[in-house]
Structure 1
Amino acid sequence: MTPITTTAELAAFCEKLKGQPFVAVDTEFMRETTYWPKLCLIQAAAPSAEAVIDPLADGIDLEPFLEILRDERIEKVFHAARQDVEIFNNLSAMPRPLFDTQIAGMAAGFGEQIAYDALVRQMLKIEIDKSSRFTDWARRPLTDAQLTYALADVTHLAALYPMLRQRLEKAGRIAWVTEEMQAMADPALYDVEPENAWKRLKPRRHAAKYLSVFRAVAAWRERTAQTRDQPRGRILKDEAIDELATQAPTDADGLNRLRSVPKGFSGSKFGPELLEAIRAALKDPEAYAPVIERNHAPSSPAAGAVVELLKVLLKARAEDAGVASKLIATVSDLEKIANDDEADSAALHGWRREAFGEDALKLKRGELALVLDGARVRVVPVRRAQKA
């Protein structure tokens, strides 16, 4: 098998993709030792064309394929799309419209975060050859076996996509997946602006001093990781950001006393830069601290018990609908609902409210009961439970 290695070859292939209803896409990349993912291979398959594209080939310009990704007349199909979409977003080519077969599989009753090979096995009755799974995709040349393995990721994807979509349409759940895809294609999800890096983490306090240092340290780490092209964790671990925000050291001695900061960090070239970032944040903590909205009322004494009941209700409703419970609501959603009927929770909006949220509120109000029927939990109106 010969991959596409020139811009002319890529342009000719992309001409074949124009006018297609969809194109299945996958990537192979490396990022274990870098901040920015290194794109090593692109695989694409439409109903009448398929190819492996080599982004590392000398002089190749990916723009013809990026234009296909931007073409909103062609649906882009991925499996577990998050990292692939991040790569293309970095190349200013957010794939729209987007269809993620992992999320679609969750909505179609294949379980939570179903793996690609499992979905292919169940839908196409094909076992995927995994012999090239641990290939170093940055090495050249790639063997025919490696290229064939890579291409199979999209040829099978192109085959199962119409089947999966038809299944969802029959169940009336295409809108569920469309809503999820709109969220996944939101550029804010892939924001790499250093000043927003704190949003990926979980601040444990709300005091202005803590939050200002938390934001400053997260921004410093993000900026340093980007500049040096190293993983965030190699610069500073997540837990160190919380300790730095809690202790707010302003000199080398204070930095050296922290358990989560590597020994000798203050004497490295990173130490003075980090301390300067902290001191700058502390000049006006109120102004620099991010505003964190509290999404629900303070936890009530009974909230823990309510959350446990909501977990049972969620499991029952997910089984009734034949859909993965994680797609409907998370534990965080349940905690918010337990404390506040008007909580800003995805489970109280759109199709999730219909599938679960409305019943969750009724359960809280005592209008529904959970009844054990053998090994299965049934959800019944309270009046029916009383008559029984």
Structure 2
Amino acid sequence: MHLITTNAELETAVAALAKSAFVTVDTEFIRETTFWPELCLIQMAAPGVTALVDPLSPDLDLAPFFALMANEAVVKVFHAARQDIEIIHHLGDLLPHPVFDTQVAAMVCGFGDSVSYDQLVQKITGAQLDKSSRFTDWRHRPLSEKQLTYALADVTHLIDVYKHLAAELEREKRGHWLNEEMDVLTSRETYDPDPEDAWKRLKMRLRKPQELAVVQAVAAWREREARDRNVPRGRVIKDDAVYEIAQQQPRDTTALSRLRTVPKGWERSATATTLLQVVNTALELPKDQMPRLPKMAQVPEGSSAAAELLKVLLRQVAEKEGVAAKVLASGDDIDRIAAEGEEADVPAMHGWRRQVFGDIAVRLVRGEIALKFDRRKVTVFDLAQ
């Protein structure tokens, strides 16, 4: 099985793939020791054409690949596209478009909340995928014939999966559902998060504005350090250390050395020096510039019971529409609708989700409809009738 390692071969392969209306794409990468994924292999296929590209080849220019990803005349088909698109965005400074994610399409077409790629292939094509090479170190060269066969199977079977799901979406007139999801998936904001928002990833109970100020500052500093040094966030400092620093608020190396989450001697490093500068700057903010602690939402009485009813309604609607419940509404969506009704600003109250589930969920909260058990099935009936 041939691995593309030269510019001429890549240009020829891309020219052949670009003649198709769609191309299936997958990548193999490693990111255990880096912030940014290290791209190790690119797989592509279209009817009658396949390509395995070695991005680690020292003289290979990936410009033709990026041009194909930007080609508006060719649909780029991925399964679970988020990390593949992140890699393309980081290395090529572009977002593939148009995109079709078969994982999302499968949920829209009723294949369940978390169907895996090999399960999807088996259900649609009947083929059993050999996943024995899944945990390969894709940086190692040369790659074996077995590894290349495994990698290529991910995109060749994806052709049939894509055709089946695209036809199903067309038949059910749900193409616009998927398009809304792809708009989010291919939005630049999805892959360019502001370091100043990094603190929102942390699940911490904060009691004082000073603690929040330190968490915000340290989390943003850590995000920039991790990106600049290309190491995982935890290699800079761990989440537990961010929380302990916010609580203890060390202003000098002596105080920093007393923290249990800080390795012995680390307080004397250059990294620790910049961290202390960040902490002191946050603590010296004027009182009127300190961030306000997020207010805990007051949960209206009875909303917990309403949420349980909404979960039943969600399952009923999902079964009726033949779509995964998870793609209609999350647990947070349900809780917010139960507490806030139509004012809930959640995905389930926007776009196609609102048409399918959000509006009827609000009607249940208002007491305009009810649920009943009829012949072993949960049904909805209008109380006005």
Shift of 1:307: 1.6
Query: 1:306 and 1:286 mapped to 2: Cα distance?
Result: 40
Query: 1:40 and 1:292 mapped to 2: Cα distance?
Result: 43
Shift of 1:174: 1.1
State percent identity of aligned pairs. Answer: 49
Aligned twin of 1:36 = 36
Query: 1:282 and 1:350 mapped to 2: Cα distance?
Result: 43
1:69 aligns with 2:69: yes
Residues 297-306 or 313-322, more deviating:
297-306
Query: 1:286 and 1:43 mapped to 2: Cα distance?
Result: 55
Shift of 1:203: 5.6
Query: 2:61 and 2:291 mapped to 1: Cα distance?
Result: 40
Query: 1:291 and 1:148 mapped to 2: Cα distance?
Result: 55
Shift of 1:36: 1.4
Shift of 1:333: 1.0
Q: Is the CA contact 1:75–1:96 (under 8 Å) kept in the aligned structure 2? A: yes
Shift of 1:20: 1.9
Written as runs of structure 1 = structure 2, the 5 A alignment for 1:10-89 is: 10-89=10-89
Q: Secondary structure at the match of 2:371?
A: strand
One-letter amino acid of the structure 1 residue matched with residue 19 of structure 2: G
Aligned twin of 1:357 = 358
Alignment RMSD: 2.3
Once the two structures are superposed, what CA deviation does each residue of 1:169-192 show, in whole Å capped at 9, x if it has no partner? 111211111101110111111125
Q: TM-score, normalised by structure 1?
A: 0.91
Structure 1: runs of 5+ lacking an equivalent: none
Aligned twin of 2:163 = 162
Q: Is the CA contact 1:21–1:73 (under 8 Å) kept in the aligned structure 2? A: yes
Shift of 1:353: 0.8
Aligned twin of 2:328 = 328
Residues 333-342 or 261-270, more deviating:
261-270
Residues 363-372 or 197-206, more deviating:
197-206
Q: Is the CA contact 1:256–1:266 (under 8 Å) kept in the aligned structure 2? A: yes
Written as runs of structure 1 = structure 2, the 5 A alignment for 1:284-299 is: 284=285, 298-299=298-299
Once the two structures are superposed, what CA deviation does each residue of 1:255-274 show, in whole Å capped at 9, x if it has no partner? 34545545554344433222
Aligned twin of 2:374 = 373
Written as runs of structure 1 = structure 2, the 5 A alignment for 1:254-333 is: 254-262=255-263, 265-284=266-285, 298-333=298-333
Query: 1:105 and 1:162 mapped to 2: Cα distance?
Result: 12
Q: Secondary structure at the match of 1:156?
A: helix
Q: Is the CA contact 2:212–2:293 (under 8 Å) kept in the aligned structure 1? A: no
Once the two structures are superposed, what CA deviation does each residue of 1:296-346 show, in whole Å capped at 9, x if it has no partner? 963212222222221111111111111111111111111221221212111
Q: Secondary structure at the match of 1:57?
A: coil
Q: Secondary structure at the match of 2:95?
A: coil
Shift of 1:285: 6.0
Aligned twin of 1:123 = 124
Shift of 1:218: 0.9
Q: Secondary structure at the match of 1:51?
A: strand
Q: TM-score, normalised by structure 2?
A: 0.92
Q: Is the CA contact 2:208–2:293 (under 8 Å) kept in the aligned structure 1? A: no
Query: 1:151 and 1:214 mapped to 2: Cα distance?
Result: 44
Q: Secondary structure at the match of 1:2?
A: coil
Query: 1:79 and 1:100 mapped to 2: Cα distance?
Result: 5
Distance 1:285 1:259, change over 3 A: farther
Distance 1:300 1:18, change over 3 A: same
Shift of 1:250: 2.2
Q: Secondary structure at the match of 1:13?
A: helix
Query: 1:333 and 1:239 mapped to 2: Cα distance?
Result: 28
Q: Is the CA contact 1:371–1:378 (under 8 Å) kept in the aligned structure 2? A: yes
Query: 2:315 and 2:309 mapped to 1: Cα distance?
Result: 10
One-letter amino acid of the structure 1 residue matched with residue 82 of structure 2: R
Written as runs of structure 1 = structure 2, the 5 A alignment for 1:92-241 is: 92-191=93-192, 193-202=194-203, 204-205=205-206, 208-241=209-242
One-letter amino acid of the structure 2 residue matched with residue 379 of structure 1: V
Structure 2: runs of 5+ lacking an equivalent: none
Q: Is the CA contact 1:215–1:289 (under 8 Å) kept in the aligned structure 2? A: no
Distance 1:155 1:366, change over 3 A: same
Q: Is the CA contact 1:214–1:245 (under 8 Å) kept in the aligned structure 2? A: yes
Query: 2:335 and 2:136 mapped to 1: Cα distance?
Result: 42
One-letter amino acid of the structure 1 residue matched with residue 90 of structure 2: N
Query: 1:257 and 1:301 mapped to 2: Cα distance?
Result: 45
Paired residues in the alignment total 383
Distance 1:86 1:17, change over 3 A: same
Q: Is the CA contact 1:281–1:288 (under 8 Å) kept in the aligned structure 2? A: no
Q: Secondary structure at the match of 2:251?
A: coil
Shift of 1:210: 3.0
Shift of 1:253: 4.6
Shift of 1:222: 1.4
Q: Is the CA contact 1:203–1:211 (under 8 Å) kept in the aligned structure 2? A: no
One-letter amino acid of the structure 2 residue matched with residue 168 of structure 1: L
Distance 1:9 1:307, change over 3 A: same
Once the two structures are superposed, what CA deviation does each residue of 1:226-267 show, in whole Å capped at 9, x if it has no partner? 233221122222243334334433234543454554555434
